Structure 1
């Protein structure tokens, strides 16, 4: 499995066509946590300038989050943000490179979207992610096959704060209040770190409300009882290859 994955990744890097995979298990689709009494707060579309604030708010509540990073993260500011999140115990995962609808792409294009972010995260932190969230939550069998050959799970959610839809803070708080009152065994929550009102107004309320309902706020991996990364090593020194 490891050798095959390395070959696929190498081909993607040099721009050669990635072969269709041999018959392998498709990636698992994660839609909910499995460890009782846990809630995983996940944040899409970073790293963004509010990432520091999200991390500090979580840390003050003895909570952890999961960041699905997107795009070129090689700028000095973004590298600092990625390292900060990782060093503070939050989980990092892929949201792909250009936020394209993966269900509309070819096999080669899907791998390119996945590989670029994975490579960047590994270079910056030394950790190779075990989870990927497809943009818009859209995927098909080709996406699952591509994730499967890369050893990843595909992550969706079972609770949407609706911040990406422009929901007001009052609406977001109401949604968190409703799910806390309903008290499911676990919660896998979708949020975004790019909206100031969501970060500074909704997030503190959501944390307080979920913790008061008896949930432990953990990373995605912890709420699944699985490793966050496929491998963890030393970060790489910055080179001229760190570019978009």
Structure 2
């Protein structure tokens, strides 16, 4: 169970209040590439899913780390297990908001609702309050950036897309990775989706091997930016009746 201090921390971090009373903070920074030389951040959207553990195991076996941008209700047994497995094995967990809505179509209050629901779930499950948010579809506007800034988060896009969510074949995704690597960029911030079976079991092993052979270090998003992955970390909660969608 949370201690009184932990409960207070969660309350302060996740309370949704009227826009007029929200702390005024700087508009969120947007990151679309890594800043630490010779690093690659392999990121995975739309989980937790069936292949989370397989992805974590593949990364760990290669001495690599990844970042998982999670969304939807994650209170089911499998969701909790997969999120904890990734987090407990040293991978970064970040927000992809709750229902994968286009945030640019929402009101201020609804944007915050999409953000705090997944943040609350992640704090309950792992104790970690994420410092980074990836907007669904990569879509954001000034209202989204202001909302993220209020919540103390940075917004993350990407500079390389494996195109798995667009229906790319395994051969196409591998070719895209190969082409990118052959260009010898200083860093890569790669978008993948953990909901795609072929990404987890065919494209990822190829990407890991090829990237490491080219001399890149495969790290979390936070490491590739030289920043902290979480705003705060407290003791995780114990499942209770509030863990519902």
Please give the range of the TM-score, normalised by the shorter of the 2 chains.
Answer: over 0.9
* Aligned partner of residue 79 in structure 1, secondary structure: helix
Q: Corresponding residue for 1:60?
A: 61
In 2, Cα distance between the equivalents of 1:236 and 1:8? 15
TM superposition score normalised by structure 2: 0.93
Q: Corresponding residue for 1:81?
A: 82
* Aligned partner of residue 185 in structure 1, secondary structure: coil
Which residues of structure 1 form unaligned runs of 5+? none
Note the C-alpha offset of 1:6: 5.8
Q: What whole-Å deviation, never above 9, does each CA across 1:104-135 have from its counterpart, x for those lacking one?
A: 10000000000000000000000000000000
In 1, Cα distance between the equivalents of 2:23 and 2:61? 47
* Aligned partner of residue 46 in structure 2, secondary structure: strand
* Aligned partner of residue 50 in structure 2, secondary structure: coil
Q: Which runs of 4+ in 1 moved over 6 A?
A: none
Structure 1 residues 8 and 207: alpha-carbon distance in aligned structure 2, compared to 1, 3 A threshold: closer
Note the C-alpha offset of 1:18: 3.9
Q: Corresponding residue for 1:47?
A: 48
Structure 1 residues 164 and 30: alpha-carbon distance in aligned structure 2, compared to 1, 3 A threshold: same
1:94-109 equivalences in 2 (<5 Å): 94-109=95-110
* Aligned partner of residue 186 in structure 2, secondary structure: coil
* Aligned partner of residue 20 in structure 2, secondary structure: coil
Q: Corresponding residue for 1:241?
A: 242
In 2, Cα distance between the equivalents of 1:221 and 1:53? 22
Q: Corresponding residue for 1:34?
A: 35
TM superposition score normalised by structure 1: 0.94
In 2, Cα distance between the equivalents of 1:25 and 1:228? 19
The alignment covers a number of residue pairs equal to 237
